[in-house]
Amino acid sequence: MKYFIANWKSNKTINEVNDWMTTFLNLFNNKIKTYLENNDISIIIAPPYPFLMVIKEYIKTLKNVFISTQDISSFDPGSYTGEVAGNTLQNLVDFAIIGHSERRSHLKESDELLFIKEKQAFTYNIKTIYCVRNENDPFPQTSTLITYEPITAIGTGNNEDVKSVISMKTKLNIPNHIPFIYGGSVTRKNVKLYLDSGKIDGFLIGKASLDPNHFFEIISKL
Ligand code: PGA
């Protein structure tokens, strides 16, 4: 199984989301349909919160196409203005991204806080896409997917070379049953290099996922 995760970050309007979904789904050809049907690939779309339900409607009949949040509250449901609790998200979303480096740096999220978020997701049956920046970031053993996102590669156009990504996989010492995802300036031009290594189970794609044609091209390189 290969995972292709579109992380839209803080982008898009409702009209753009409708356009993206319509264009993307129209691109589905027999090859991609077969991959989805045979559990060869999973496509996960992580939009800003307001668009989750809109996208869920578009994908409701599709196998192996999922939605993810970009975060989850560390709090139980209650008086926490602006937070979105696991309890609220359960049965609505499939995944939550936890520990993205942009949240670690801009919102000062600590390992301790991120482990609490992971626990919230686990409690409410939400799978997790847990992000680490290097071997010094611990990850919970309950994570569904572990994503390696070197900060030098995120949003910079400087994707990390395949050898270094694979060597980080070894350093992270990820249990065999947890898929290893790479994120950081993955594009339709460089994705094949990672795929060909046979050691990377998927990609967290930011900028290149904002265009449905580019995102589809990335998936089609499989
Ligand atoms: P990028 O973002 O593809 O724009 O580098 C990756 C990510 O941060 O998820």
Taking the centre of ligand 1 as the mean of its atom positions, its distance from the CA of residue 155, in whole angstroms, is: 5
Q: CA of 148: how far to CAs of 15, 114, 174, 177, in Å?
A: 32, 15, 11, 16
Q: What letter does residue 4 receive in the DSSP assignment?
A: E
* Alpha helices per DSSP H over 74-209: 86-89, 101-106, 111-123, 162-172, 191-197
Instruction: Render pLDDT for 90-115 as a digit per residue (tens, 0 to 9).
Output: 999 999 999 999 999 999 999 999 99
* CA atoms in the 13 A half-sphere facing the CB of 93: 33
The residues that are catalytic are: 100, 149
Confidence of residue 146 (pLDDT cuts 50, 70, 90): very high
pTM of the model: 0.98
CA neighbor of 216 nearest in space, from 18, 19, 1, 23: 23
Query: Percentage of residues in the chain with pLDDT exceeding 90?
Result: 100
Taking the centre of ligand 1 as the mean of its atom positions, its distance from the CA of residue 183, in whole angstroms, is: 6
Task: Looking at the CA of residue 100, tell me the nearest atom of ligand 1.
Answer: 8
| Ligand 1 pocket, residues with Cβ under 6 angstroms | 7, 149, 154-155, 183-186, 204-208
pLDDT attached to residue 148: 98
Burial class (CB in 10 A: 0-12, 13-18, 19+), 211: middle
SS (H, E, C) 57-73: HHHCCCCCEEEEECCCC
